[in-house]
Structure 1
Amino acid sequence: MARDQIDTQPIESRDELVAWLEAGCKAPQRFRIGTEHEKFPFTLKGHDPVPYEGANGIRALLDGMQALNGWEPIMEGEAIIGLADTIGGGAISLEPGGQFELSGAPLASIHETCAEVNGHLEQVREVATPLGFGFLGLGMSPKWTLKQTPVMPKGRYRIMADYMPKVGTHGLDMMFRTCTVQVNLDFASEADMVKKLRVGVALQPVATALFANSPFTEGKPNGFLSFRSEIWRDTDNARAGMLPFAFEDGMSFERYVDYALDVPMYFIKRGDSYIDVAGSSFRDLMARKHPALPGEGPTVSDWANHLSTIFPEVRLKRYLEMRGADAGSWKNLCALPALWTGLYYDTTSLDAAWDLAKGWSAEQRQQLRDDVPRLGFDAEIAGRPMLELAREVVAISRAGLERRDMRDSQGRDETRFLKPLEESLALGTTPAERLLERYRGPWGGSVDPVFVEDAY
Structure 2
Amino acid sequence: MAAPSAGGNAQPLENKAQMIDYLAAGSKPKSEWRIGTEHEKIGFSQADFQPLPYDGSCSIYAMLEGLQRFNWEPVTEGGKLIALKREGASVSLEPGGQLELSGAPLEHVHQTCGEVSRHLREVREVADEIGAGFLSLGFRPDTKLEDVPVMPKGRYKIMRDYMQTVGTHGREMMFRTCTVQTNLDFGSEADMVKKFRVSLALQPIATALFANSPFKEGQLNGYKSYRSRVWLDTDADRTGMLPFVFEEGFGFEQYVDYALNVPMYFVYRKGEYLNAAGKSFRDFLNGTLDVVPGEVATLSDFEDHLSTIFPEVRLKQFLEMRGADTGPWDELCALPAFWVGLLYDQNALDAAWDYVKDWTEEERQQLRADVARLGFQTPFRDKTLQDVAKDILSISRSGLKARHKLNAHGENETVFLQDLDRMALLGESNADRLIRQFKGAWDGDIMRSYKVCIY
Tell me the TM-score range normalised by the shorter chain: over 0.9
Percent identical: 54
Structure 1 residue 304 and structure 2 residue 282: aligned?
no
Structure 2 SS opposite 1:74: strand
Match of 2:82 in 1: 81
What's the offset of the Cα at 1:384?
2.9
What residue is the counterpart of 2:3 in the other structure? 3
Indicate the residue corresponding to 2:201 in structure 1: 202
Distance (Å, rounded) in 2 between the aligned partners of 1:237 and 1:383? 30
Residue of structure 2 equivalent to 1:46: 48
Counterpart contact for 2:33–2:107, Cα < 8 Å: yes
The residue that corresponds to 1:137 in the other structure is 136
The match for 1:99 is: 98
Matching residue's letter, 1:61: M
Residue 419 of structure 2 aligns to a residue whose secondary structure is helix
Aligned residue for 2:398? Answer: 399
Taking the TM superposition and a 5 Å limit, the aligned residue runs for 1:245-256 are: 245-256=244-255
CA distance in 2, matches of 1:71, 1:127: 13
1:46 CA displacement? 2.0
Secondary structure at the aligned position of 1:325 is classed as strand
Distance 1:103 1:269 in 2: 21
Tell me the CA shift for residue 291 of structure 1: 1.1
SS of corresponding position for 2:206: helix
Whether the 8 Å CA contact 1:171–1:234 is kept in 2: the answer is yes
Match of 1:414 in 2: 413
- Once the two structures are overlaid, the 10-residue window that deviates more, 73-82 or 174-183, is 73-82
Which residue of structure 2 lines up, in the alignment, with residue 174 of structure 1?
Answer: 173
In structure 2, stretches of 5+ residues that fail to align are none
Runs of 4+ aligned residues of structure 1 deviating over 4 Å after TM superposition are none
Displacement after TM superposition at 1:440 (Å): 0.5
Match for residue 355 of structure 1?
354
Is the 8 Å Cα contact of residues 34 and 106 (structure 1) preserved in structure 2? Answer: yes
The amino acid of 2:232's aligned partner reads R
5+ long unaligned stretches in structure 1: none
Letter in 2 for 1:337: P
- Rounded to whole Å, the distance in 2 between the matches of 1:192 and 1:383 is 31
Equivalent residue in structure 2 for 1:59, among 58, 61, 69: 61
* 2:15 alignment partner in structure 1: 13
SS in 2 for 1:98: coil
CA contact (8 A) 1:377 1:428 kept: yes
Tell me if the contact between 2:45 and 2:58 (Cα under 8 Å) persists in the aligned partners.
Answer: no
Task: Give the TM-score of the pair, scaled to structure 1.
Answer: 0.98
Report the count of equivalent residues.
453
Q: CA deviation at 1:383?
A: 2.8
Instruction: Give the letter for the 1:41 counterpart.
Output: G
Deviations 1:271-303 (A, max 9, x none): 111000100000000011111112111112111
| Equivalent residues of 2:377, 2:427 under 8 A apart | no
Partners of 2:381 and 2:190 in 1: how far apart? 26
Whole-angstrom distance in 1 between the partners of 2:311 and 2:34? 22
The C-alpha deviation readout for 1:105-152, integer Å capped at 9, x for no partner, is 000000000000000000011111110001101111001001111100
What is the CA-CA distance between 1:12 and the residue it aligns to?
A: 1.6
Q: Which moved more, 1:246-255 or 1:70-79?
A: 70-79
8 Å contact kept, 2:377–2:385: yes
CA distance in 2, matches of 1:143, 1:410: 42
Q: Distance in 2 between matches of 1:454 and 1:281?
A: 42
8 A contact 1:360–1:382 mirrored in 2: no
Return the TM-score normalized by structure 2.
0.99
Displacement of 1:9 in angstroms is 2.4
The 5 Å alignment of 1:247-266 reads 247-266=246-265
Deviation at 1:62, TM superposition (A): 0.3
Structure 1 residue 450 displacement after superposition:
1.1
CA distance in 2, matches of 1:140, 1:49: 12
Partner residue, 1:70: 71
